Amino acid sequence: MQEELNQFKRNDVWELVPRPPSQTIIGTKWVFRNKLDDQGNIVRNKARLVAQGYCQEEAPRAWYDRLSSFLLQNGFIRGKVDTTLFVFEKGQDCLLVQIYVNDIIFGATNDSLCKKFSKLMQGEFEMSMMGELNFFLGLQIKQCQEGIYISQSKYTKELLKKFGIEEGRTVSTPMATNVKIDKDEKGKSVDESKYRGMIGSLLYLTASRPDILHAVCLCARFQGNPKEFHMSVVKRIFRYLKGTIQYGLFYPKNENFSLKGYSDSDYAGNIDDRKSTSGSCQFLGDCLVSWFSKKQNCVSLSTAKAEYISAAFCCTQLLWMKQTLVDYKCSFENIPIFCDNISAINIAQKPGSSQPY
């Protein structure tokens, strides 16, 4: 606790002022947490002093201002799209620094730049050098000569234990192919709090498990009034995870950085409102880097329109990625989008032509 107070004073992120006569003081609370590694071992005891979130005004981002000013003064360039990214260039080499609140991930094309950066930061701030990245925000990262493997096996095991699904059989798919999910208004209601907790936990898991994204997003639509049928579908996802705990994403080491996207859609797949669901994924070379599944906002009157809307979502994501990758010194032109609907492709190639919707 004293270390936390010392950090406030050292980093000059607060200012003591008289209390305005017509204002009340925002309360504070100490939050204690054990920081664990990927094996569940305690590596650090942390104490944080936080303001009561329900009555505070917007935070001034004092820590970010302090850190970013220091980096800019030392020759770093701030990302134009992602302002938490800082880049330092020296000749043909570069150092990338990514900030997440008070955690920093950095890497360089030359190991000497990493050592200099570590020394620079420790000379200015009281920071702990954790070594090679292997565990961050619940993500397990394994680096090897062939590439990088990212998984959430530890988090998956914790979820299975938390929701009591450690025992029982496993299944080969997260959702049956012939299942149709609706509101099931005549079904028996279940505990909303538990159902929402399970959905929220699964949504976080989709950061490294795109194979469950579609099934989880379908189940997430019924958090307002979940039924026993919906709970059974969610539990099937957990049984699938039980048999695929070690699944994750592998990013091979190569020089292929071509950017491309894939889009698809069902047609009027939602039984309750007849809206379609868009699906899309984006690849950087051979690496899957982005994916989503989302119900469309309008009712499509044809498969062409449903597929066209899905392709538009994919295009939007690719344009954002194109701008973001400029900060990493990667530029792309003529980015392909792969779609399996001829009518949607014709509409995209000739927007002014009349096509059936």
Q: Which residue has the tokens 């699944």?
A: 247
- The confidence score (pLDDT) of residue 354 equals 52
Q: Are 208 and 152 in contact (CB under 8 A)?
A: yes
User: For residue 189, what is the DSSP state?
Assistant: B
Give residue for tokens 């002093």: 49
* pLDDT (tens digit per residue) in 262-285: 999 999 988 889 999 999 999 998
pTM above 0.85, yes or no: no
Two structure tokens written together for 283: 């690849």
Closest C-alpha among 97, 104, 240 to residue 173: 240
**pLDDT of 341 strictly over 50:** yes
Cα separation, 349 vs 144, in Å, equals 43
What average pLDDT does the chain have? 88
Element (H, E) at 201: helix 192-205
- By the 10 Å C-beta count (0-12 exposed, 13-18 middle, 19+ buried), 9 is classed as exposed
| Three-class SS state of 43 | strand
Does the pLDDT of residue 57 top 80, yes or no?
no
Distance from C-alpha of 225 to C-alpha of 227, rounded to nearest angstrom: 7
Q: Which residue has the tokens 């976080």?
A: 204
Strand arrangement, sheet containing 248-252 = 135-136, 139-143, 147-151, 248-252
* pLDDT (tens digit per residue) in 163-200: 998 888 899 999 988 888 899 989 999 999 999 999 99
Query: What is the structure's pLDDT at 357?
Result: 46
- Check: CB of residue 330 under 8 Å from CB of residue 352: no
Which alpha helices (DSSP H) does 206-341 contain, by range? 213-220, 228-242, 303-326
3-state secondary structure of 64: helix
Q: What's the pLDDT score for residue 46?
A: 85
Instruction: Report the distance separating Cα 85 and Cα 107, nearest Å.
Output: 12
